[in-house]
Structures are given as C-alpha cells and as structure tokens.
Amino acid sequence: MAGEKIVNGIILIKDGKIEKVGLQNEITVPADYKKIAGKIVTPGLIDAHSVVGLSGIYNYEHDQDQLEKSDAIQPELRAFDAYNMREKLVGFVRNLGITTLHTGHGPGALASGQTMMVKTFGETLKDVIVDSVTTVSFTLGSDVSSNYKKPGTRSKGVAILREEFIKAKDYIEKIKNAKEEKKPSRDLKLEILAKVLSGEVLAMFTVQRAPEIMTALRLQQEFGFKLILDGAAESYILINEIKEIPLRGIILHPTMVRNYGDTKNVSLETAATLKKEGITFALQSGYEGYVPKTRIVLFEAAIANANGLPFEDALATITINAAKILGIEDRVGSIETGKDADIVLFDDNPFEYTSHVCTVIINGKIVKEDCF
C-alpha cells in the first residue's frame, strides 16, 4: 500500500514500529529476532466505520450502547465513555485481521454522538486509543423517524440540525467576543458542534438515498465543515455532484449490506464505480442487528474485488484509504518504515474464502499466531 508489491520481502520490527522493509537480499535479519513467515503479508486491516466495543457480541440490552434513544440530537455523547476494550466482539474482529477500528455511536439519530479510533489489542484504554474524538455521527433518512417521535419527517430533521448548527455558530461568537467574566456557561452539545464547524472534528453523515446525500452536501456548503459521507448507497447516481464538494472521502456501506429500506438500491459495483471516477473511499463493517453484530471488512473487500474493483484497490479500501480519510495515514495503513507495526500474515490470497489469517501483529506484539 506504499508502492509496488514486494516479492520475497522482509519486514523488520523493533519497539512496536516498522524498522525496515525491503527484499530478502537487501536486508540482514539480526540473529536474535523472532522469525515469522507468511505467503501473503499486508498492513493491519482498518475498519473505517464500526460500532464494535459499544455494540457487544450478544443480543442483550446491557451490551448495546451504540445508540441512545432518549433524544435524537446528542452529539455530546463520548464513545470512549462507553467503549469496552475487553468485549468479545473486539477479539472476534482482531482474529480476522482488523487491527484498527473507527468505532463509536452509530447511525440512527440526527446526531448520535462522537466516534473514536482504537487498536484492537492493548492492556489499558490508554494503550488502545488512537484518537479519542474523530467524528460526530449524524444520520439523515428513515432510520431517524423510525427511532424517534421527533423529528418525524426528513425536512423537519434537517431543519432541527440546521438550527443546532446556527446555535453553535452563535456560541462560538459569544465565546470569542465576551470578556472572561461574561463568557457563557459551558454547553457540551454546542461545544462539540462548534468543533465540527471549526473543522477540529470531522462530520460523518450516514446518508443512503440520493435526496439525503444531496442534503448533506448542501449542509457542508452552507456551514463549511469537513465532511465524510457514510453509507452512500446511491452515490453511484450522484458522481458529478459529489465531485464538486470538498469531501474527506466516502466510507461506503458494506458491499453485502441487505438491500431494503434506505439501502434498497445498493449495487455490488459501487466500489468499482467510485474508483473509476477517482473518488476516495473506504469500506466498513457497519452495524448489524443480529449475532455476531458486525460484518468483517476483509470479506466486504473480497466481494468488491469480485465485482470489478482491482485487488490492490480493494485492499486499499481497508488499509491506506481508510487511514487517509480518518487522518491517521502517518501511523497505519501501509507497510513503511517508522509506522506502527500492525501486520497481518495470510496463508494465501486474502480475498479467497479458503484462505486464513495466520498471524496478527499489533504495535509489534503478536496477538494471534495460528491459521484457524
């Protein structure tokens, strides 16, 4: 993911970082280094949007914290206040090669809360956090009206969001212009929305249908925030409109998402279409309402590859592209000297269902070492 593939290569790891990368005949392996071999070696996989760790592996209310249903607008909710690093679902995805998660409050509310980025292995929460506040998660579409009595219609929902953004702009001005003794009291909701408007925190809009995609683009033009389109099931019919807006990128729906409701018109070929049109995108696992509560991005990328997306481009959607959209490409997403030593070893082509994840390394530590 940082140039041409290397055949018969060597990766040296030291102190949790990638020390050297190159051909076998160019690198000498120190005698005291543990040696691990794999047929195919990739960067650690990145799930660009998940609720793992807030959503647990079972169908019990006590391990489902991804969506608070008391209010449709709660951007002040912090993912790291609810994230369970020891949740079995974290181990489940780790054993399938996912080393970094962008997770947190999920779709379904106008503003459901904040997201975070974590590694899938560590001793403490401090060890695993890559970024404590990455985006505020917004949703437009029928999911909102099905979860909340208010706002009801789509236009009402957008009007409420616009009103909150205007309040946040006023809040910024009051903070900026007021004397110290007359500054307004802290308002956690407006405070985080102000960070969205200033570009300090990304805005991630889950929008599936064309009307909602267009609304998100209009809101970005009106308020100027840094926008990630999430889901974007009907993005293939709005290519020109999407190209006109300064997006961070698209976190595309899982390739195999079920086609009903707002995702009725999904296409298996959307990933290939976005690549052809030069639009930066990543793939995600999303959220599923059944055990084990998540999809696996490795499998989603494999299906995209089978439907027109070239192999290396498919791998990029769950490695370097995801890292770039989320702003962590200086640490993860490719096998380069100085980056975090997050590495996955396979016994064959990663996108073949008969292949296995044999070894997973996170921050230089072997966290899985078998092929089953």
Q: Is pLDDT above 80 for 292? A: no
Is 75 a domain residue?
A: yes
For residues 118 and 129, the answer to whether their CB atoms sit within 8 Å is yes
The packing angle between helices 188-198 and 154-177, to 10°, is 90
Phi/psi for 64 (5° steps) reads -125, 80
Full 3-state SS string of the chain: CCCCCCCCEEEEEECCEEEEEEECCCCCCCCCCCCCCCCEEEECEEEEEECECCECCCCCHHHECCCCCCCCECCCCCHHHCCCCCCHHHHHHHCCCEEEEEEECCCCCCEEEEEEEEECCCCCHHHHEEECCCEEEEECCHHHHHHCCCCCCHHHHHHHHHHHHHHHHHHHHHHHHCCHHHCCCCCHHHHHHHHHHHCCCEEEEEECCHHHHHHHHHHHHHHCCCEEEEECCCHHHCHHHHHCCCEEEEEECCCCCCCCHHHCCCCCCHHHHHHHCCCCEEECCECCCCCCCCCCHHHHHHHHHHCCCCHHHHHHCCCHHHHHHHCCCCCCCCCCCCCECCEEEECCCCCCCCCCEEEEEECCEEEEECCC
Provide the 10 A C-beta neighbour count for residue 7: 7
Tell the burial category of 149 from Cβ atoms under 10 Å away from its Cβ (0-12, 13-18, 19+).
exposed
pTM for the full predicted model: 0.96
Range of the structural domain that residue 281 is part of: 44-334
Q: Is pLDDT above 80 for 181? A: no
Is 28 a domain residue?
A: no
Task: With cut-offs at 50, 70 and 90, classify the pLDDT of residue 372.
Answer: low
pLDDT for 280 = 97
Contacts of residue 177, Cβ cutoff 8 Å, sequence gap at least 6 = none
- Which residues, listed in sequence order, are joined to residue 366 by a DSSP beta bridge? 361
Is 118 a domain residue?
A: yes
Contacts of residue 159, Cβ cutoff 8 Å, sequence gap at least 6 = 151
Closest CA to 98 of 335, 328, 295, 307: 295
Is 255 a domain residue?
A: yes
Is 20 a domain residue?
A: no
Q: Cα separation of 74 and 66, whole Å?
A: 12
Give me the percent of the chain exceeding a pLDDT of 70: 99
- The string of pLDDT tens digits covering residues 59-71 is 788 888 999 999 9
Q: Is pLDDT above 90 for 225? A: yes
Q: Cα separation of 362 and 356, whole Å?
A: 18
Q: Cα separation of 8 and 41, whole Å?
A: 10
Provide the 10 A C-beta neighbour count for residue 140: 26
In this prediction, residues 241-257 reach a mean pLDDT of 96
In this prediction, residues 220-230 reach a mean pLDDT of 97
- Output b/e per residue, 94-106; b: 16+ Cβ within 10 A: bebbbbbbbbbbb
249 Rama sector, left if φ>0, alpha if ψ -120 to 50, beta otherwise: left
- The string of pLDDT tens digits covering residues 101-158 is 999 998 999 999 999 999 999 999 999 999 999 999 999 999 898 888 888 888 999 9
Q: Is pLDDT above 80 for 182? A: no
- Which residues, listed in sequence order, are joined to residue 286 by a DSSP beta bridge? 50
- The string of pLDDT tens digits covering residues 313-358 is 999 999 999 999 999 999 999 999 999 999 999 999 999 999 999 9
Structural domains in the chain (count)? 1
For residues 116 and 148, the answer to whether their CB atoms sit within 8 Å is no
CATH number at residue 203: 3.20.20.140
Q: Is pLDDT above 80 for 3? A: yes
Is 31 a domain residue?
A: no
**Residue whose entry in the numeric block shows the structure tokens 């020390």:** 19
pLDDT for 291 = 66
| Average pLDDT value for the chain | 94
Is 8 a domain residue?
A: no
- The string of pLDDT tens digits covering residues 25-51 is 999 999 999 999 999 999 999 999 999
Q: Cα separation of 108 and 34, whole Å?
A: 47
Provide the 10 A C-beta neighbour count for residue 372: 6
- Which residues, listed in sequence order, are joined to residue 238 by a DSSP beta bridge? none
Phi/psi for 271 (5° steps) reads -60, -45
Is 81 a domain residue?
A: yes
In this prediction, residues 270-285 reach a mean pLDDT of 97
Task: With cut-offs at 50, 70 and 90, classify the pLDDT of residue 72.
Answer: very high
Distance from the first to the final alpha carbon of the chain: 26
Task: With cut-offs at 50, 70 and 90, classify the pLDDT of residue 248.
Answer: very high
